[in-house]
Amino acid sequence: MNVVLLGIQGSGKGTQAELLSQKYKLPHINVGDSLRENIQNQTELGKIAKSYIDKGELVPDEYVFAIVEDVLNKAEKGFFLDGFPRNLEQAKFLLSKFKIDKFLLLELDEETAIKRILARRQCKKCKKVYNILFQKPEVENVCDICGGELILREDDNKQAIKKRIEKFHHETEKVIKLFKEQSNFITINAAQSLLAINKEIISKIN
Ligand SMILES: [Zn+2]
């Protein structure tokens, strides 16, 4: 089962990909994480990617594609892919290389998305992410796992969020349009609780 999750920031697609990964025992693949792993492990691709990042440039698509192809090929039984594709070229690449069984779009209005992102807090030490709306820590501003201080990430300010949302509308909506032409495109209401979203997804992909 090869599944792609799409949605605006704050729609919870990363969290849902994780829950689905646990339920179906298939890997949750986040391309940003795969890129960071390659850099950390100093693979050939990781070294090339790092040379661009060090210059403050975006990693060119051909290297990102090579990383995606590598990590998806290793997931022989299937995957839950999140954070890719973000633009039309990436979407076309994905469709040319892999058979996708389900496209899941987590639909959420902008206002709710912004509210949710502004409620995110991250542990300074272990980087675990909380949300003061629906994933509160036991003690206010303290990490449940390591006791570290919880902070609002620098890139989670209103201006930066609006910029990311604009980019999403500009680029990812073309991806959504392309995927909507496929018969296995499913829309999910992401304005519900995490568990309700999860239930809806499971009922629709089975
Ligand atoms: Zn922590």
Cα 140 to ligand 1 centroid, rounded to whole Å = 13
Q: What is the pLDDT of residue 83?
A: 87
- Could you tell me whether strands 150-151 and 120-123 are parallel, antiparallel, or unpaired per DSSP bridges? antiparallel
In a domain, residue 197? The reply is yes
In a domain, residue 188? The reply is yes
pLDDT band at 183; cut points 50, 70, 90: confident
Residues in the chain: 206
In a domain, residue 32? The reply is no
By CB atoms closer than 10 A (0-12, 13-18, 19+), residue 54 is exposed
Residues 39, 174: Cα–Cα separation, whole Å: 30
Q: Where are the beta strands (DSSP E) in the chain?
A: 2-7, 28-30, 79-82, 102-107, 120-123, 129-131, 150-151, 185-189
In a domain, residue 48? The reply is no
In a domain, residue 157? The reply is yes
3-state class of 2 per DSSP?
strand
Rounded to an integer, the average pLDDT of 80-95 is: 94
pLDDT band at 153; cut points 50, 70, 90: confident
Residues 174, 168: Cα–Cα separation, whole Å: 9
pLDDT above 90: residue 157: no
By CB atoms closer than 10 A (0-12, 13-18, 19+), residue 36 is middle
pLDDT above 90: residue 90: yes
Residue 152 is encoded by which pair of tokens? Answer: 């609002």
* Predicted TM-score (pTM) of this structure: 0.86
In a domain, residue 102? The reply is yes
Cα 42 to ligand 1 centroid, rounded to whole Å = 26
DSSP state of 78: -
pLDDT above 90: residue 148: yes
106-144 per-position pLDDT tens digit: 999 999 999 999 999 999 999 898 999 888 999 999 999
Q: What is the pLDDT of residue 149?
A: 97
Mean predicted lDDT score pLDDT of the chain: 93
What is the crossing angle of helices 61-74 and 88-97, to 10°? 40
Cα 162 to ligand 1 centroid, rounded to whole Å = 28
Rounded to an integer, the average pLDDT of 27-56 is: 93
The parent domain of residue 136 ranges over 2-27+75-205
Phi, psi of 60 (to 5 degrees): -60, 150
- Could you tell me whether strands 185-189 and 102-107 are parallel, antiparallel, or unpaired per DSSP bridges? parallel
Number of domains in the chain: 1
Active site residues: 13, 86, 120, 153, 164
pLDDT above 90: residue 50: yes
Residue 196's CATH number: 3.40.50.300
Cα 129 to ligand 1 centroid, rounded to whole Å = 9
In a domain, residue 45? The reply is no
CA 182 to chain centre: 21
In a domain, residue 147? The reply is yes
Cα 133 to ligand 1 centroid, rounded to whole Å = 18
